[in-house]
Amino acid sequence: MRYSPILLVHICAGMVAMVSGAAAMILRKGLPRHALVGQVFVASMLTMATTATYLAVIKHQDDNVGGGILTFYLVLTAWLTARRRDGETSVYDWGALLIPLALGPLPG
């Protein structure tokens, strides 16, 4: 049985996310290493969500397409929240709001 190379990327990104997420929880907040593994975690989660969405589109799994998009949205907005200073909203925040507004009315 042959597997897609995208599936391998998806699996590897998931493994990196698990290791970097555990490291981020172990390291003390505020350390440069905590920030670095946090960025690795976010990048791997976004990669995993993107590849999951692609695989779901290819396999015509509509529910998983929505799940991949929702995961991407949740990780992206969590990262934006962690980077934002108190009381400020960026254009990225308003752009990210378009994702749930577009997906909300879809039947599911």
Alpha helix (H) ranges present in 59-90? 62-83
Q: Find where tokens 């290493």 sit.
A: 33
d(CA 7, CA 4): 5
> What's the full length of the chain, in residues?
108
What does each of the 108 residues of the chain score in pLDDT, given as a tens digit?
477 899 999 999 999 999 999 999 999 998 999 999 999 999 999 999 999 999 999 999 988 998 998 899 899 888 888 877 777 777 877 887 887 788 777 665
Element (H, E) at 39: helix 32-58
In a domain, 55, yes or no: yes
Q: Judging by beta carbons within 10 Å of its beta carbon (0-12, 13-18, 19+), is residue 94 exposed, middle or buried? A: exposed
In a domain, 90, yes or no: yes
Could you tell me the residue range of the domain that residue 82 belongs to? Answer: 5-103
Q: How many domains does the chain have?
A: 1
